[in-house]
Amino acid sequence: MAEEKLWKTRLEVKRLTIGKRELGRGKVGIVYSGRIWFADQKSKKVAVKVFNPEMTEEFFDRPHIDEEIVRHYEEVIAKLRKEKLPVLKTGFVKHGGKFVQVQELYAKSTGSKITDPRRLDVLPQEYDLQIIRDPQTKERLLDTISGIINAGLIPHHDTIGIVKTKTGNRLIIHDLDFLAHTNYLNDNPELNNQGLEMVLNLWRKDFREAGIPHEEFIGGLKTRVKTKEGLAAIREMERPEHE
């Protein structure tokens, strides 16, 4: 339980600055390099996501990130940690009167060190099928996908990142936006979520394009997934028309 002490709360934040260096951008917002000061520590370099107001309207039906939306993110973090998943240290701090997301920094001179394991037709310049072909990475990816499902969430491609290290590929959960959206929808059952089966079928295609048979992907999930929703989605993918 010593790991718990490594996580700070926003009450411990003394100061936050956001630099001009852009690490990445997407529909949800722009990530910049930044620096944070805690009351009992020296400053630390961090990644800071500044949210796009249009996203909060679309994802959460709110004009801006507020305490209620932050609660959905924090609940997601708690669910992921309960499943012992490799989620980056993440917090929400007000800067200029608005919430921003602060996260551990994985950066290089050209931007983020984190690679998104997306499909080739989405981001061909950033994705290498060799990542999934690596046996150890494949197993870790199946562990992570299944763990997110067991947490009651949907494992979107944006959610899982890969950092190449000297000892191999490290998988991390770094993008929490779609997970928080799922958590929000779970609180609002009358709304439609993004569709677990749809997302799993995208992962299945990725694995297949990497040379990993459908049966191996499905079998890997079946030995790991525990929730009834997850198992139902897997059974649906076993139907002949999904081959």
Residue 155's pLDDT band (cuts 50, 70, 90): very high
Residue 194's pLDDT band (cuts 50, 70, 90): low
192 vs 211, higher pLDDT: 211
Q: Which helix (H) or strand (E) holds 107?
A: strand 107-108
Share of the chain above pLDDT 90, in %: 41
Count the residues in the chain: 243
What is the distance, to the nearest Å, from the Cα of residue 26 to the centroid of all Cα atoms in its chain? 13
* Cα–Cα distance measured from residue 60 to residue 36, given in angstroms and rounded to the nearest whole number: 27
28 vs 119, higher pLDDT: 28
What digits encode the pLDDT tens for the residues 29-65? 999 999 999 887 778 899 999 999 888 888 888 888 9
* Cα–Cα distance measured from residue 52 to residue 85, given in angstroms and rounded to the nearest whole number: 27
The pLDDT assigned to 240 comes to 65
The pLDDT assigned to 161 comes to 85
101 vs 161, higher pLDDT: 101
Residue 110's pLDDT band (cuts 50, 70, 90): low
pLDDT at 123 over 70: no
pLDDT at 3 over 60: no
Mean pLDDT of 1-28: 75
Q: Which helix (H) or strand (E) holds 35?
A: strand 29-38
* Cα–Cα distance measured from residue 87 to residue 171, given in angstroms and rounded to the nearest whole number: 9
Residue 170's pLDDT band (cuts 50, 70, 90): confident
90 vs 193, higher pLDDT: 90
* Cα–Cα distance measured from residue 64 to residue 67, given in angstroms and rounded to the nearest whole number: 10
What domains can you pick out in the chain, each with its CATH number?
8-107 (3.30.200.20), 110-242 (no CATH)
Q: What's the chain's average pLDDT?
A: 83
